[in-house]
Amino acid sequence: MDSLVTVLQTLAEGKVAISNEQVKVYRDSFTEYKKDKLIMVKDLEAKWILAVGDGVLYESLTGETLKGYGKRCALSHENRLVLNQYFPYTVPQAFGTEIATMGLGDRLGLASPGHIETIKPYRVKPILAQQSIRELTLTNRSMIDILDAAAFAVFQEGYKDGYGADGDHIKLEKDIEYALSLGISFLTLDCSDQIRNDLETISVSDIEGEYEKLPAATRDYYYETYFNKQFDVNGLEIDYDKVDVIKNALLYGEALDYTEHVYKTYIQNAEKQIDFEISIDETETITSPAAHFFVANELIRRGVNVTSLAPRFCGEFQKGIDYIGDITQFEKELKAHAIISQYFGYKLSIHSGSDKFSVFPSIGEHTNGLLHIKTAGTNWLEAVRVIAAINPELYRRMHVHALEHFEETLQYYHITPNLDTIAPLEEQTDELLPAYMNHDAARQLFHVTYGILLTAKNDQGKFLFKDAFFQTLNENEDAYRQALVKHIGKHLELLGL
Which stretches of the chain bind Zn ion, using CB under 5 A? 279, 281, 351
Q: How far is the C-alpha of 144 from the C-alpha of 237, rounded, in Å?
A: 46
Min CB(110)–Zn ion separation in Å: 24
- Cβ closest to Zn ion, residue 130 vs residue 279: 279
- Cβ closest to Zn ion, residue 101 vs residue 476: 101
Neighbours of 494 (CB within 10 A): 17
Min CB(370)–Zn ion separation in Å: 19
- Cβ closest to Zn ion, residue 60 vs residue 279: 279
Residues facing 116 on adjacent strands: none
Phi-psi region of 289 (alpha: psi -120 to 50; beta: other; left: phi over 0): alpha
> What is the b/e burial string over 398-430, where b = at least 16 CB atoms within 10 angstroms of the residue's CB?
bbebbeebbeebeeebebebeeeebeeeeebee
Min CB(310)–Zn ion separation in Å: 6
Any idea of the CA torsion for 467, 469, 474, 476, to the nearest 10 degrees? Answer: 150
Q: How far is the C-alpha of 336 from the C-alpha of 145, rounded, in Å?
A: 39
Q: Which of 198, 197, 211 is nearest to 246 (CA)?
A: 211
Min CB(264)–Zn ion separation in Å: 23
Neighbours of 457 (CB within 10 A): 11
CA 222 from centre of chain: 36
Which parts of 406-476 fold into alpha helices (H)? Answer: 440-448, 450-455, 466-475
> Does residue 135 have an active-site annotation?
no
Full DSSP string of 358-375: TTHHHHHHHTTT-EEEEE
Is residue 223 classed exposed, middle or buried when 0-12, 13-18 and 19+ CB atoms within 10 A define those classes?
middle
- Cβ closest to Zn ion, residue 127 vs residue 479: 127
Among residues 277, 282, 333, 355, which one is catalytic?
277
- Cβ closest to Zn ion, residue 90 vs residue 279: 279
Helices (H) and strands (E) in the chain — how many of each? Answer: 19, 15
**Which residue number places its CB atom closest to Zn ion?**
351
- Cβ closest to Zn ion, residue 92 vs residue 103: 103
Among residues 106, 157, 166, 168, which one is catalytic?
168
Min CB(167)–Zn ion separation in Å: 13
Any idea of the CA torsion for 17, 19, 23, 26, to the nearest 10 degrees? Answer: -90
How many Cα atoms occupy the beta-carbon half-sphere of 346 within 13 Å?
Answer: 25
Min CB(450)–Zn ion separation in Å: 17
> Does residue 431 have an active-site annotation?
no
- Cβ closest to Zn ion, residue 91 vs residue 376: 376
Min CB(279)–Zn ion separation in Å: 5
Min CB(317)–Zn ion separation in Å: 9
CA angle 390, 447, 77 (to 5 degrees): 80
Min CB(374)–Zn ion separation in Å: 7
Residue 26, SS3 per DSSP: strand
Phi-psi region of 105 (alpha: psi -120 to 50; beta: other; left: phi over 0): beta
Main-chain dihedrals φ then ψ at residue 368, nearest 5 degrees: 50, 35
Which parts of 61-100 fold into alpha helices (H)? Answer: 77-86
Is residue 5 classed exposed, middle or buried when 0-12, 13-18 and 19+ CB atoms within 10 A define those classes?
middle
- Cβ closest to Zn ion, residue 134 vs residue 229: 134
Q: Which of 409, 398, 472, 470 is nearest to 436 (CA)?
A: 398
- Cβ closest to Zn ion, residue 49 vs residue 170: 170
Question: What amino acid occupies position 356?
Answer: K
Active site positions, annotated:
168, 277
